[in-house]
Structure 1
Amino acid sequence: MTTFAELGIDQDIVDALASKGITEAFPIQEQTIPLGLPGQDIIGQAKTGTGKTFGFGIPVVQRLGLDPEPGVKALIVVPTRELAVQVYEDMDMLTSNRSTSVVAIYGGKAYEGQIDQLKAGAQIVVGTPGRLIDLANQRLLDLSHATEVVLDEADKMLDLGFLADIEKIFSKVPAVRHTQLFSATMPGPIVALARRFMSNPIHMRANDPDEGLTQANIKHLVYRAHSLDKDEVIARILQSEGREKAVIFTRTKRAAQKLVDELGDRGFNAAAVHGDMSQEARERSMAAFKAGKKDVLIATDVAARGIDVNDVTHVINHTIPDDEKTYLHRAGRTGRAGRTGIAVTFVDWDDVHKWALINRALEFGQPEPTETYSSSPHLYTDLNIPEGTKGRLVTAPKAVAPRAEKKSEGQDAEGTRAPRRRRRGGGSSSSESTAPAGDATPRDEGGAGTHDGAGKEHHDGNAAPRRRRRRRGSGSSGTPTAPVA
């Protein structure tokens, strides 16, 4: 493989890459960097996880120079917040030996910090369309000198309906600029977009001829599973031999949170990323996953483009994705940087027709998913799960039924002494009724009267006398009355 030093890259950038153990270029980087450095417009197409960020990022950093003037000179537009954070981290690393400053602009976080970085003179902006347009309309973001423009994951931006926003952004950047467009897939609308906003672009496609539509280093397993058994199956898959980090995709936010809670109860170290979480909570979960503090990440598709972790060995589709493009991007979270990975997809009985479409589009040759349960022998052999594995870790805390705290006699839940109630013989609830209105049974001042005055029978209880005392205190005539039923 070609090293970065052989591609004509400045030594300080080569050193920054080497400090992270990155010395050799991937095919897409090898093809696009020599064209991007002199300013050629590029359409870069490669499967996810093959190094597209450095493919456009290195030319951007090098073309700005060692000490660019303050102000936005480069704009990188991405579709999701998670991807904005990921690209920002990569660009920040590339500029670590330069004075160039990078800022991430995206929603879900306070404006103040982002605005302060812009006012401080950040030269490279990585952002999502909505927040970029918002700040530009407030005249807090000046794009009139952004001569380097990159659209990353352009197909996803079209899927999310950002075409109108992209047009607004291009209306704010200089007409003469260096434009790069990168995407994993290249549908017709992307080609039309390139024709409108790029100048004689060269289309570079980095695919190995024997790979087909999916990466050859990813093993794809498709199971027809019952919804009530999925959690148990997943828990056993997570105990596969050689499993490092795993990403599980769900269709809904509620399903993601439910699965996090379930796996946590089973003893797994899981985190979640979904739309019901605040941006800070999502970033904390992602950071914990990247740092290895959590080894299972449950996410909705909102995070699919922002998970760039090399040691993800398993991707599990808790529910089948809607189309083949989403499938490719989910599965692309594993097998990154040349490593191998496993993608497991569960197909509900009602979604078999959806799988048939994905199977046809991706040429899997498996129109019928294998019916699978947590006890199926092929599950263990397919995924190298140790025999006898169950869906709960040995160290997982066992659920214990809550025991009512024993209270001392006559105490309420707060620990204070409750009035003692005495019942007549037999303990029947019907025997606890107070005397009728015409009862003239004498009672002492403390309400401890008895039926015959001998004190041998059970007392009538304190409720009626206490009520009578309250009536006296409130100016009642003192005539004894029976409590109202």
Structure 2
Amino acid sequence: MTLPVALSGTDVIGQAKTGTGKTLGFGLPLLERVTVPADVEAGRAAPEQLTSAPQALVVVPTRELCTQVTNDLLTAGKVRNVRVLAIYGGRAYEPQVEALKKGVDVVVGTPGRLLDLVGQRKLDLSHVRALVLDEADEMLDLGFLPDVEKIIQQLPARRQTMLFSATMPGAVIGLARRYMSQPTHISATSPDDAGATVAATTQRVYRAHSMDKPEMVARILQAEGRGLAMIFCRTKRTAADIADQLVQRGFAAGAVHGDLGQGAREQALRAFRNGKVDVLVCTDVAARGIDVEGVTHVINYQSPEDEKTYLHRIGRTGRAGATGTAVTLVDWDDIPRWQLIDKALGLGFPDPPETYSTSAHLFEELSIPEGTRGILPRAERTRAGLAAEQVEDLGETGGRGRRGAPAPAAPQEERPARTRTPRQRRRTRGGLSLGEAATEAVEAADTAEGATGGATGADEARAPRRRRRTRSGAAAAEAAVPAPAEAPDVAADDAPAKPRRRRTRTVASQAEAAPAAAEAPAASEAEAKPRRRRTRSAKPAQQPEA
């Protein structure tokens, strides 16, 4: 329906369900409007019509969709040798700039990187004859409207503009008409498919508990006849967590979300297309336009935000006439949101049945073999896995883009030999090195022991000296000087108990204690009370024997 109108040069608003071939609906008219050297050789165009600047521009919302549209256009334009270039963020600028210098016929890009290259005057849009906004509602809803307006201002006034999407709200059509001239609105539907969703897709909706969802998903993935499967989550953290859990359960799973670098995202998509990975856990960045052959199951791990997101999610299966199964797991908190989606689309599932991983109707409706557990048997682990797909070094810009992709190994450089001994740092304490401080502490202790040992005699066995904690160096000096001799008629038991002393951490306190101990008379040392062990309660000292 679109081809005759688009080939005539008329502006088109195309709306059709997912998986019905919208890419070629605008791609073939674009390729026909481009002038290439093959047309000059065949006599269909004059030599002066050839140019190295882009003649057609396709603007898409996501990087994954950009690469897919580029590959489709390259395949369709291979016979005429049409040069198609993908321009999107997360990659190095230099290869894209070099390709633009060599000459490009069709440019497919995301708004951010297109504006960057236009601002640097690396991209010339003055020769564009046709503009396409793919997934137009997403472009205008996600805040891309200011960027799209800036891009349109760089284009010639006389051009063909085409908008394509599976969902086209009235407000988006009103905005689109500002940039179009008498557009033709084409809405393609099948007579036997009057609903908003594709009839070939079987839809199942269950009310599930968040803690039981991983087990349910692991059992659903073991259903009979399952091919490739896509699991959609609402947050990036949930997508990464579910992918890790499935890998631990034995499934070959990969993840695509915004926290991954562009190299890791493309690695997961390539592995999914090549069959090395059969489960792709992703956020809504992969919900639009991604076309992978053989996807039989789509699982909404978390309820989508609105009905448009639901349509695009389940549209990854049941494409191009194939059949598929869409399973939606709705948490208790998401029931009001799901009821709005169900009412808007008329699905007929306003109150999903409460379902757990052991429910009989889950096994029956999804053709899951009896006795299936949440761990894939080792005999069925035949996929190579995500590690078998190489990560391409895209020269990603920015620090965030390197997350998720291993950095290239730096070349090993030989270090020059040392020409001198490196300077050693010395740790000091109180202005002295540790060795000097320890030496002074030992000498002070020996001096104190020699002063007290002469009075008591060398034949007496001396108990090991205990250091006492004091609040200052003066307290240590008082502790070392013995008390004066008491009168002979005073009993030792009547003497008051000495207060507990604390050990000092300084070396100077020990040095001050040594002279005081040397000056004390030997008689007072004999009558002095022996040192007591530290106890929790003070006890009276005993009188030593004569």
TM-score of the two chains, using structure 1 as the length reference? 0.76
Residues 49, 337 of structure 1: 8 Å contact kept: yes
State how many pairs are aligned. Answer: 384
Which of these residues, 118, 121, 133, is aligned with residue 139 of structure 1? 121
Deviation at 1:131, TM superposition (A): 1.1
Question: Residue 276 of structure 1: SS of its match in structure 2?
Answer: coil
Give the match for residue 89 of structure 2: 107
Deviation at 1:69, TM superposition (A): 2.9
Which of these residues, 211, 232, 251, is aligned with residue 249 of structure 1? 232
Paired with 1:472 and 1:163, the residues of 2 have a C-alpha distance of: 74
Q: Please list, as runs of the form range in 1=range in 2, the aligned pairs for 1:404-423 lying within 5 A after superposition.
A: none
Q: Deviations over 1:256-312 (max 9, x none)?
A: 110011000000000000011001110111111111111000001112114211211
Range with greater deviation from structure 2 (96-105 or 381-390): 96-105
- Quickly say closer, same or farther: Cα 1:120–1:226, change in 2 above 3 A: same
Deviation at 1:473, TM superposition (A): 9.7
Give the match for residue 41 of structure 2: none
Paired with 1:482 and 1:124, the residues of 2 have a C-alpha distance of: 89
Give the match for residue 348 of structure 1: 331
Paired with 1:159 and 1:284, the residues of 2 have a C-alpha distance of: 28
Which of these residues, 196, 201, 208, is aligned with residue 190 of structure 2? 208
Give the match for residue 335 of structure 1: 318
Give the match for residue 364 of structure 1: 347
**Runs of 4 or more off by more than 4 Å in structure 1?**
470-474, 480-485
Q: Deviations over 1:171-215 (max 9, x none)?
A: 111110111110111112221133211122111111113321111
Residues 84, 128 of structure 1: 8 Å contact kept: yes
Give the match for residue 324 of structure 1: 307
Give the match for residue 130 of structure 2: 148
Give the match for residue 367 of structure 2: 384
Q: Deviations over 1:98-147 (max 9, x none)?
A: 23211111111111111111111111100111111111111111111111
Paired with 1:365 and 1:289, the residues of 2 have a C-alpha distance of: 33
Residues 80, 306 of structure 1: 8 Å contact kept: no
Structure 2 counterpart of 1:296, one-letter code: V
Between Structure 1 and Structure 2, whose CA radius of gyration is higher?
A: 2
Paired with 1:307 and 1:396, the residues of 2 have a C-alpha distance of: 31
Q: Is residue 138 of structure 2 the alignment partner of residue 174 of structure 1? A: no
Q: Is residue 22 of structure 2 the alignment partner of residue 52 of structure 1? A: yes
Paired with 1:298 and 1:377, the residues of 2 have a C-alpha distance of: 26
Structure 2 counterpart of 1:77, one-letter code: V
Which of these residues, 215, 226, 231, is aligned with residue 232 of structure 1? 215
Give the match for residue 422 of structure 1: none
Residues 75, 149 of structure 1: 8 Å contact kept: yes
Deviation at 1:471, TM superposition (A): 5.7
Structure 1 counterpart of 2:92, one-letter code: A
Paired with 2:172 and 2:271, the residues of 1 have a C-alpha distance of: 35
Structure 1 counterpart of 2:220, one-letter code: I
Deviation at 1:66, TM superposition (A): 4.1
Range with greater deviation from structure 2 (66-75 or 287-296): 66-75
Deviation at 1:396, TM superposition (A): 8.8
Which of these residues, 235, 238, 263, is aligned with residue 246 of structure 2? 263
Q: Deviations over 1:392-444 (max 9, x none)?
A: 012199xxxxxxxxxxxxxxxxxxxxxxxxxxxxxxxxxxxxxxxxxxxxxxx
Question: Residue 223 of structure 1: SS of its match in structure 2?
Answer: strand
Question: Residue 358 of structure 1: SS of its match in structure 2?
Answer: helix
Q: Deviations over 1:305-342 (max 9, x none)?
A: 14211211000001000100000000101111110011
Structure 1 counterpart of 2:22, one-letter code: K
Residues 74, 148 of structure 1: 8 Å contact kept: yes
Give the match for residue 124 of structure 1: 106
Paired with 1:355 and 1:202, the residues of 2 have a C-alpha distance of: 34
Paired with 1:471 and 1:187, the residues of 2 have a C-alpha distance of: 82
Question: Residue 335 of structure 2: SS of its match in structure 1?
Answer: helix
- Quickly say closer, same or farther: Cα 1:396–1:320, change in 2 above 3 A: farther
Paired with 1:482 and 1:293, the residues of 2 have a C-alpha distance of: 72
Paired with 2:81 and 2:313, the residues of 1 have a C-alpha distance of: 36
Question: Residue 114 of structure 1: SS of its match in structure 2?
Answer: helix
Residues 223, 346 of structure 1: 8 Å contact kept: yes
Give the match for residue 158 of structure 1: 140
Which of these residues, 173, 176, 186, is aligned with residue 168 of structure 2? 186
Residues 43, 181 of structure 1: 8 Å contact kept: yes
Q: Is residue 282 of structure 2 the alignment partner of residue 280 of structure 1? A: no
Paired with 1:279 and 1:164, the residues of 2 have a C-alpha distance of: 25
Structure 2 counterpart of 1:199, one-letter code: S
Backbone CA RMSD of aligned residues? 2.0
Give the match for residue 309 of structure 1: 292
Deviation at 1:158, TM superposition (A): 1.6
